[in-house]
Amino acid sequence: MHLFLLATALLLAPQNTAPAAQDAETCLACHSNPQLVTTTGDGTATRLHVDGATFAKSVHAKLACADCHTGMSTVPHEPRPFRTQRELTLAYDEQCRRCHFANYTKTLDSVHQASVARGDRTAPVCVDCHGSHDIQRPSEPRTRISQTCARCHQGVATAYVKSVHGRALTTEAATDVPVCTDCHQTHDIGGPHQQQWELRTPELCGRCHSNAALMKKYGLSTAVLSTYLADFHGKTASLRENQGTTPTGKVVARCTDCHGVHDIQKADDPDSPVMKANLQKTCRKCHEDVNANFPGAWLSHYEPSWKKAPIVYGVKVAYSVLIPFMIGGLGLQILLHLWRLMVNR
Amino acid sequence: MKDSVVRFTPIQRIEHSTVMSLFAVLALTGLPQKFYDHGWAQRLMGLLGGVDTARFVHRTAGVLFSLVVVVHISRLVVLVAQGRTSLALVPTRQDFRDAIVTLRYYLGLSDHQARFDKFDYRQKFEYWGLVLGAAIVVGTGFILLYPATLTRFLPGEFVPASQLAHSNEGLMAFLVVIVWHIYNAHLNPDVFPFDTSIFTGRISRHRLRHEHPLEFERLERNERNKSSKIA
């Protein structure tokens, strides 16, 4: 699809009959000059230098300059009405969609695009994340993704690097731990405080944490999602997700409320909010003034058993015997009664 | 002489109607919480206006049901202490004998039928099942309603244990009502389509003689002795 669009774009560009390399050479005749500047409407000097070697190594090396920079066929170029360099960058964002239409439509649903639409000129457009003349595959190496986001989101990025996920990525070079975009999406990045996103948290974490092969590698349990869903918080989250709403100000505890978000740690890390010693404090985030017994109400993702939660397990076993016995017994008596009535006739 | 006699007092009839209505509300708002991951439960929750509305209704009905239980038991304690109530619902050894006689009759091992007094063993079983079940759902219900307060006195594990006990006891009560009570009060060929006694408070002499012969004989004896005492 992209290739087709690319081919079409090339065919539809009558001023670009020369092959790409030649085209770049033509432009670089001027633009390889590091001193080349122009002055934008606000009076600032804007450098127009392009490093030919960097461009030749980019994924777009085979494109012609004019594929993106349209309307430059006359030399010297027609004056452009931009007041600032940022205005120019924002205007050039339109060029990417000609080939990358699918990703462009996704960005329309993103928080970044929402900021752009509100008139926030600092909100990122394509080139702010992907680069321009130096454009490379965004996920090579994988660590590059969080570094890209960190350019603006420094606070969360610092927390992430110290988290169990971030440490595994940076120090163990693990390729299967989540980077920013695994949870937040790439082009259609949603607002993390949007209700739908909040309600979907267990599903999001569950994508990896209920994957048996992946969890085995890290020695983690896959029962975390099912045990969460079976408890009060999980049931509420499920039922509210189906409703699609949460009453204002009432959010039920999801994974991140207890475990943390970007600063998430191993459950046995002394700093983890779900470490036993810290649990009472964590519960108190929502349940004010609860005492030390209260965290015991949560079975820490364990399935009830004689060892882990004997009272709960006892109740479970008792009813799994009692209910069939009771209903079976009563049903049998009804059938016997009907049978006797038939015999009597 | 009237062809029917009084079986239930107005207070008993009101108690039955109240428990019946509250039970229906509690089952309707409670079961979809237990079966939260089933499609029907989620659709039902939607019809009820969402889980938060359903929970509010469930808790309100639960508190009202608790009040009915407390009033019923307190009243009973006072009446028993004053000797102003019959103890016809207290299980006796005769009930076990009646159950065995009935089972032998159903199985065709005997043509002899048990002769019951005011309440037969099945009715006593259902009454005491309701009382014990109510004690469990009310007790665990309050633990679930006020977990932070009650874990000041109880270990935390009581909360998930209560959740299991509450929902399973509720489910069992629902199934007993659907299977056993609906049969005995509606589908049983002896009373089909509707045993109206608990609503009208009266039972026909004909049915009383068949279903509660010991009570019927005592009634006739008392009438012969020109006493107005019924049971």
The answer on A199 and A281 residing in a single domain is yes
Instruction: Tell whether A171 is covered by a domain.
Output: yes
Residues in A closer than 8 angstroms to B154, CB to CB, are 293
CA distances from B225 to A17, A100, A243, B80, B203 (A): 124, 102, 68, 26, 22
Interior/surface letters A65-103, b for 16+ CB within 10 angstroms, e for the rest: bbbbebeeeeeeeeeeebeeeebebbebbebbbbbbeeb
Per-residue pLDDT, A248: 55
First to last CA, chain B: 17
The answer on A330 and A280 residing in a single domain is no
Nearest to B176 among A240, A330, A333 (CB): A330
Q: Does B120 touch chain A (CB under 8 A)?
A: no
Interior/surface letters B58-71, b for 16+ CB within 10 angstroms, e for the rest: beebbeebbebbee
ipTM of the complex: 0.90
Per-residue pLDDT, A191: 82
Per-residue pLDDT, B189: 87
Contact assessment for residue B40 and residue B34, using Cβ atoms and an 8 Å cutoff: no
- The total domain count for chain A is 4
CA distance A106 to A184: 13
Q: How confident is the model at residue A12 (pLDDT cuts 50, 70, 90)?
A: very low
Mean pLDDT of B221-231: 68
Residue A241 has pLDDT above 80, yes or no: no
Q: Does B188 touch chain A (CB under 8 A)?
A: yes
Contact assessment for residue A10 and residue A28, using Cβ atoms and an 8 Å cutoff: no
Per-residue pLDDT, A42: 84
Residue A252 has pLDDT above 70, yes or no: yes
CA distance B227 to A250: 65
A182 alpha carbon, distance to own chain's centre: 4
The answer on A167 and A92 residing in a single domain is no
Instruction: Tell whether A185 is covered by a domain.
Output: yes
The answer on A264 and A160 residing in a single domain is no
Q: For residue A149, what is the enclosing H or E element?
A: helix A143-150
Q: Which of residues 197-256 of A touch B (CB under 8 A)?
A: 229, 231-232, 235-236, 238-240, 242-243, 245, 247, 250
Nearest to B45 among A239, A295, A338 (CB): A239
Whether residues B106 and A336 touch (CB distance < 8 A) is answered with yes
The answer on A84 and A19 residing in a single domain is yes
Per-residue pLDDT, A81: 84
Mean pLDDT of A146-152: 92
CA distance B117 to chain A (A): 20
Q: Beta partners for A46?
A: A38
Mean pLDDT of A213-224: 92
Per-residue pLDDT, A7: 38
The answer on A290 and A325 residing in a single domain is no
Residue A160 has pLDDT above 90, yes or no: yes
Per-residue pLDDT, A193: 79
**Residue, of A118 and B85, whose pLDDT is higher:** A118
Instruction: Tell whether A131 is covered by a domain.
Output: no
Per-residue pLDDT, A93: 86
The answer on A185 and A202 residing in a single domain is no
* pLDDT one-digit tens code per residue, A311-337: 999 999 999 999 999 999 999 999 999
Nearest to A239 among B42, B144, B163 (CB): B42
Q: Does B68 touch chain A (CB under 8 A)?
A: no
CA distance A207 to chain B (A): 18
CA distance A297 to chain B (A): 4
Q: For residue B142, what is the enclosing H or E element?
A: helix B121-145
Per-residue pLDDT, B1: 53
What's the whole-number average pLDDT of chain A?
86
The answer on A295 and A313 residing in a single domain is no
**Across A128-132, A318-322, A341-345, least confident range:** A341-345
Instruction: Tell whether A253 is covered by a domain.
Output: yes
CA distance B156 to chain A (A): 4
**Residue, of B228 and B24, whose pLDDT is higher:** B24
Mean pLDDT of B29-52: 93
Residue A21 has pLDDT above 80, yes or no: no
Instruction: Tell whether A45 is covered by a domain.
Output: yes
CA distance A36 to A33: 6
Residue B213 has pLDDT above 50, yes or no: yes
What is the DSSP-derived secondary structure letter of residue B183? I
The answer on A298 and A225 residing in a single domain is yes
- Segments forming the whole domain that contains residue A341: 309-345
Per-residue pLDDT, A94: 86
CA distance B84 to chain A (A): 33
Mean pLDDT of A67-75: 86
The answer on A16 and A75 residing in a single domain is yes
Closest Cα in chain A to B136 = A315
Mean pLDDT of A174-187: 90
* pLDDT one-digit tens code per residue, B124-152: 999 999 999 999 999 999 999 999 999 99
Per-residue pLDDT, A250: 60
Whether residues A239 and B50 touch (CB distance < 8 A) is answered with yes
The answer on A294 and A266 residing in a single domain is yes
Per-residue pLDDT, A22: 58
Q: How confident is the model at residue B88 (pLDDT cuts 50, 70, 90)?
A: confident
In chain B, the domains with their CATH numbers are: 4-224 (1.20.950.20)
Instruction: Tell whether A128 is covered by a domain.
Output: no
Q: CB-hemisphere CA count at 13 Å for B18? A: 17
Per-residue pLDDT, A14: 41
Residue B181 has pLDDT above 50, yes or no: yes
Q: For residue A37, what is the enclosing H or E element?
A: strand A37-39
Token look-up 């994340």 returns A129
Instruction: Tell whether A132 is covered by a domain.
Output: no
Q: Which of residues 277-296 of A touch B (CB under 8 A)?
A: 287-291, 293-296
**Across A17-21, A40-44, A172-176, B138-142, least confident range:** A17-21
* pLDDT one-digit tens code per residue, A193-213: 777 777 788 989 999 999 999
Mean pLDDT of A101-119: 92
Instruction: Tell whether A331 is covered by a domain.
Output: yes
The answer on A157 and A79 residing in a single domain is no
Closest CA to A94 of A64, A58, A70: A70
CA distance A217 to A180: 21
Residues in A closer than 8 angstroms to B145, CB to CB, are none
